Amino acid sequence: MCVPPARKERNGVPMIGRMGGGAKGCVGKEVYLDDLTAIRNEALFAPPRFVSAWLERNLNDARDMEIAVLLFNIAVTMWPAAILLFVYPSHILGGVYFALFNALYLQRFILAMHYSTHRRLFKPGTFAGETLNRLNICLYAPMFGIPCNTYRLHHIVMHHVDNNEWNKDLSATEAYQRDNVLHWVCYWVRFMAGSWVELPFYALIRKRWNLFSQVTGGFALTLSSWYAAWHYGSAPFAVWTCFVPFLAVSTALMFGNWSQHAFVCPVNPRCNYRLTYAVLNHPDNQRSYNDGFHTLHHANSMIHWSEFPTKFIEKLDEHAARDALVFSEIGFFHVGLALFFKAHGYLADHYVNVGQPKRTREELIALMKERLRPMRSWGDKDEFPESKKATKAD
């Protein structure tokens, strides 16, 4: 093992490995898990004390205050701005509205919605609590272009259950060459056009009637709101609060998921340590509720986002034993862009050996290219029989 059980520390932060593949001539600098002590940067400003006190009483988990405060930030800035655009329609004002609030909030909100859908944000069991727990996907999400009440079916039910499997998961990446930008365009178009049909069909054929009614109702409400924004509002209001956000968030979501699931092991595509990877020590983790620890999230989607750095250290040996990919000082979007530019060597230079088999730089690049190639498994026919055994083990 490259990392001994009694881990070396720097200012209380443990060493987790070294840059490079670990083979002779490919051993780089020591890597410490700085995410463990990094300052959170999701919320932009604190709410008034009475709001904080109310949240403290009603949150299901006090550690989710960062999510609740972000939602408060959005409510008191973005919503009034949307009303202003409705009253004073202007493409200039609309462009500023879209650019400003997407720069400030889009990444932060997507991950806030993500984790507050996996784990309830407010205490359940009452009508008020259950209503508040729906606001993220029913009210906030459409502000960013995500159709109303569709995220839970797509992400929680489909993506995590079918786990990136082609012909089951709408956002599965494994059928594409993941360092080919034209393949990504096909993937993006399929999601934008196909989600309107595939999500209801997914629920329908599985007889998930409640989910079917939620997603069809959500799509209908979304289309109705777009029509109302154009007909009763104005063209600038509809364009900048409905149409452009839908295009932008569809692009962001699909580029993000493509990047997160770019590397899929062809021998073991259902292994949670081999269908995604971890990106550490990058500021994105402090803006996205530690989203870089994506391997752990797929291994156990109920791990609280605040626990990921600690859990990563606890599970370091599993990452090594299962030959998981780990990178440092880059984020998912850096990985996606690097792949489009065929910069496999750049990614090899950011690879972290936490105990995986030792490899040269060239061997790392070959490993990554192997995990980028297209593969398809149809229904119960699995081209990779080892994967079923691995799924049970994981």
pLDDT of 66-82, one tens digit each?
Answer: 999 999 999 999 999 99
Beta bridge partners of residue 22, listed in sequence order: 359
Which pLDDT score, from 0 to 100, does residue 323 have? 96
DSSP classification of residue 140: I
Q: What is the pLDDT of residues 323-356, one digit of tens each?
A: 999 999 999 999 999 999 999 999 999 999 999 9
DSSP classification of residue 359: B
| CB count in 10 Å sphere of residue 335 | 25
Q: Would you place residue 28 in the very low, low, confident or very high pLDDT band (cuts 50, 70, 90)?
A: confident
Residue 276 clears pLDDT 60, i.e. is over it: yes
Q: How far apart are CA 133 and CA 310, in angstroms?
A: 27
Burial of 352 (0-12, 13-18, 19+ CB in 10 A): buried
Residues 6 or more apart in contact with residue 190 via CB below 8 angstroms: none
Nearest 5°: the CA angle 14, 17, 20 is 150
Beta bridge partners of residue 14, listed in sequence order: 9
Which pLDDT score, from 0 to 100, does residue 21 have? 85
DSSP classification of residue 62: G
Q: Are 206 and 59 spatial neighbours (Cβ–Cβ below 8 Å)? A: no
pTM over cut 0.95: no
Q: Are 291 and 336 spatial neighbours (Cβ–Cβ below 8 Å)? A: no
Most confident of 27-36, 165-174, 327-336: 327-336
Q: How far apart are CA 182 and CA 166, in angstroms?
A: 18
Which pLDDT score, from 0 to 100, does residue 89 have? 97
Q: How far apart are CA 315 and CA 321, in angstroms?
A: 10
Q: What are φ and ψ of residue 280, in 5° steps?
A: -120, 165
Q: What is the pLDDT of residues 171-209, one digit of tens each?
A: 999 999 999 999 999 999 999 999 999 999 999 999 999
DSSP classification of residue 291: T
